[in-house]
Amino acid sequence: MADPIEDSTDQGAPSARAATAGLTESGGQEVDLGRRRFFRQFAGDIIQTAATMAGAAQALQRASAEAAGALLDPDTGGALAGLQAEFAGEPAPRGFRTPFREDGDVLYLIDQRRLPDALVEYDCRSAGEVAYAIREMIVRGAPAIGQVAAIGLAMTAAKFIDSRPYARRATLLGAANALRVSRPTAVNLGWAVDRLMARYMALGDLSEDGPAIATAMRAEADAIVFEATTDHGRLATFGYEALPPPTDMPLRILTHCNAGPLACGQFGTALGVVQVAHNAQRPIHVWVDETRPYLQGARLTAWELAQAGVPHTLIPDVAAGYLMSRGEVDVILVGADRVVANGDTANKVGTYPLAVLAARHGVPFYVCAPTSSVDLATPDGAGIPIEERKAEEVLSFRGVRIAPPDTQVRNPSFDVTPAELITGIVTEEGVLCGPFEQGLADAVASANARRAAAISPFTTQVAD
């Protein structure tokens, strides 16, 4: 698909194609084998592409292995085994997978609109195409859209490596803006775009040195993906340690929307904690809110948990209160699109009522959010822009109309949970308890300091 920013003539329809030959969308054995073959190839590509891109496969593997190793006692071996198996060419154990991979100058996204029925990739070659994919929720989830936005901008910078400075500037500013406005609530999007544009501006927006600009923006994009891997792994460790103590029953975790690898990259946030508990062989059972109207819970979370073999049960969102009233929920873990300075948190619509119910029934309610999802510039929840999406998402599902035509619809995609209803905010710097102001400011500061101190294989690349 031509990039509407780089070529304003084309508003054309997107194209998607089946990722690997032999993959049919109509189910049956072939799909499973094809799917396994695809995922093994896919996971291998992720690691291999990272290696060739920055020549730092070991660094990425080390970072992921460290994160995985920190999550697991040596006896269990789960996620680390998966990574080692990938490198050893053995069939990978079943498990969670990442939502995107790069191959040459193409970014491949799992088309999450088509899950769980079809596993197809959507390919992007520029920031404009990535902005479209974000707006149409081909890729979704705050951390994931931040990472692909960064990669998209780096790709556009590479495409304009030989352009005149004015043309490059106009394109990059246009691309950055298209990404920023593609979805307003997830702060990761603007955070990632700001980081890449800062690298560009540091070199001079009218600099003639296209190669230096492209290299710097690529390095920043790779650093953002690299950090997400380690940060989410750390976050999941802290979250695991904060879970209620074991009893003779499986721990009953309720989650809303999808905050797994499909939404985050290598590791999930709320589902990252589940990944750790599962790999530590702690008995757990996950209540999965279907998450109307877009059904991220029913379509994506249930699919990820099934892939990983984690016991789970799908529930209508409106059943959560009933289960809590019967004492069948031990803890609630949700992700976040934006945590503001006082701790008020925006997440998928339906999260706020869950927090109210949890307070009523004394169920611990944890927000799992990396500091890349923290917005210290916004003092409280009233300042969070809430995306309102198209009525069609409510009026019909997969083309089947479920309400009379012309029915009036409000479709806020997110809501805000007040800080006072949140038991703790799980970050990669530890678990914060209310009041959150100081804890959030400290967590952001220590995360930035840790990143600055860490010798990222990507930023050193530029220095040479």
Active site residue 337: yes
Instruction: Give the Cα separation of 411 and 390 in Å (integer).
Output: 7
Nearer to ligand MRU, 143 or 424 (CB): 143
- Which tokens in the block code for residue 414? 């997110």
Residues sharing a CB contact under 8 Å with residue 39, sequence separation 6 or more, in sequence order = 92, 97
Nearer to ligand MRU, 239 or 439 (CB): 239
In whole angstroms, the minimum distance from the beta carbon of 28 to ligand MRU comes to: 29
Q: Which residue is nearest to ligand MRU (CB)?
A: 335
In whole angstroms, the minimum distance from the beta carbon of 96 to ligand MRU comes to: 13
In whole angstroms, the minimum distance from the beta carbon of 154 to ligand MRU comes to: 22
Nearer to ligand MRU, 335 or 424 (CB): 335
- Which tokens in the block code for residue 116? 């769980």
In whole angstroms, the minimum distance from the beta carbon of 251 to ligand MRU comes to: 20
Cis geometry, peptide bond prior to residue 404 (ω within 30 degrees of 0): no
Element (H, E) at 158: helix 142-159
Collapse the DSSP code of 108 into the 3-class scheme (helix H, G, I; strand E, B; otherwise coil) and give the result.
strand
Nearer to ligand MRU, 159 or 348 (CB): 348
Residues sharing a CB contact under 8 Å with residue 455, sequence separation 6 or more, in sequence order = none
337, 344, 375, 415: the catalytic one is 337
Q: Which residues pair with 375 in a beta bridge?
A: 340
Nearer to ligand MRU, 61 or 230 (CB): 230
Which amino acid type is present at position 411?
Answer: N
Nearer to ligand MRU, 210 or 260 (CB): 260
Longest CA–CA separation in the chain, Å: 67
In whole angstroms, the minimum distance from the beta carbon of 349 to ligand MRU comes to: 8
List residues binding ligand MRU (CB under 6 A).
140-143, 186, 257, 259, 263-264, 269, 296, 335-337, 347-348, 413
Alpha carbon 76 to its chain's center: 26
In whole angstroms, the minimum distance from the beta carbon of 183 to ligand MRU comes to: 7
Collapse the DSSP code of 122 into the 3-class scheme (helix H, G, I; strand E, B; otherwise coil) and give the result.
strand
Instruction: Give the Cα separation of 197 and 127 in Å (integer).
Output: 13
Pairing of strands 120-124, 17-18: antiparallel
Write out the catalytic residue numbers: 337
